[in-house]
Amino acid sequence: MGDELVSKSYLMDLLKKNNVVQFGDFVLSSGKKSNYYIDMKKGITNPEILKTISILISEKIEGDCVAKIAGPALGAVPIATAISLESNIPLLMIRKAKKDYGTSKLIEGILSEGDNVVVVEDVTTTGGSLLKAIDAISQNQGIVKRAFVVVDREDGAIERFESRGIKLEPLITVSDFFD
């Protein structure tokens, strides 16, 4: 895949072609009803989609003095890993909860005080799980200024992040699929 071919519209085409975005009647994990569903697990297990996402985000953070790329488990870990490989920036994996054995860490990988961290997520609705990951990084003296999401459902996540002084940057918003 030539990097010059990678674009938002190319990613959208890949997501559509691989039925990552499905239309119909769905009940979301929040209990809300929706006329579409974004099956990003199907997307992030596809090498071409993952490579495209990693190139798009790596280009956006180039020259930003980023020390670490972080993703909350489970959906964002493949994305963060792909970006780490593409950009040669070390990776952090953020657990949903501390494990109760071994080292009992919430963050896997080496986070140093003052590290600039870019966080990534597969899909955001309100952004709650990504904000938990950001809190974990902040509590461990990391600094998060930018966050990326592959698809934003436009349910308030961008505004929530803004109120915390963090720019959430979606590669695609749900309305892009309806335009």
Render pLDDT for 37-61 as a digit per residue (tens, 0 to 9).
999 999 999 999 999 999 999 999 9
Distance set, CA 100 to CA 14, 67, 152, 159, 163 (Å): 40, 28, 33, 34, 33
Q: Is the pLDDT of residue 4 over 70?
A: no
Task: Dig out the tokens for 157 from the structure.
Answer: 């996540």
Q: Is the pLDDT of residue 3 over 60?
A: no
Percent of the chain with pLDDT over 70: 94
- Determine whether the annotation assigns residue 95 to a binding site: yes
- Determine whether the annotation assigns residue 126 to a binding site: yes
| Long-range CB contact pairs, 20-25, < 8 A, 24+ | 20/49, 21/151, 21/177
What is the 3 state secondary structure string of 105-116?
CCEECCCCCCCE
Contact between 148 and 166 (Cβ < 8 Å): no
Q: What phi and psi values does residue 121 have, to the nearest 5 degrees?
A: -145, 155
Please give the DSSP secondary-structure letter assigned to residue 165: T
- Determine whether the annotation assigns residue 81 to a binding site: no
- Determine whether the annotation assigns residue 129 to a binding site: yes
pLDDT at 29: 72
Average pLDDT, integer, range 155-166: 93
pLDDT tens string 80-127: 999 999 999 999 999 987 666 555 588 999 999 999 999 999 999 889
- Determine whether the annotation assigns residue 127 to a binding site: yes
Total domains present in the chain: 1
- Determine whether the annotation assigns residue 45 to a binding site: no
Residue for token pair 């674009």: 7
The pLDDT confidence band at residue 143, using thresholds 50, 70 and 90, is very high
Q: Is the pLDDT of residue 164 over 70?
A: yes
Q: Is the pLDDT of residue 64 over 60?
A: yes
We report the CATH number of the domain holding residue 76 as 3.40.50.2020
pTM over 0.75: yes
In this predicted model, which residue has the larger pLDDT, 103 or 5? 5
Q: Where are the alpha helices (DSSP H) in 18-156?
A: 40-44, 47-61, 76-87, 128-139
Range of the domain at 110: 3-178
- Determine whether the annotation assigns residue 146 to a binding site: no
Average pLDDT, integer, range 62-91: 96
pLDDT at 97: 76
Instruction: Indicate the pairing of strand 33-38 with strand 68-72.
Output: unpaired
Buried b (16+ CB within 10 A) or exposed e, 15-50: beeeebbeeeeeeeeeeeebeeebbbeebbebeebb
- Determine whether the annotation assigns residue 132 to a binding site: no
- Determine whether the annotation assigns residue 124 to a binding site: yes
Q: How many residues does the chain have?
A: 179
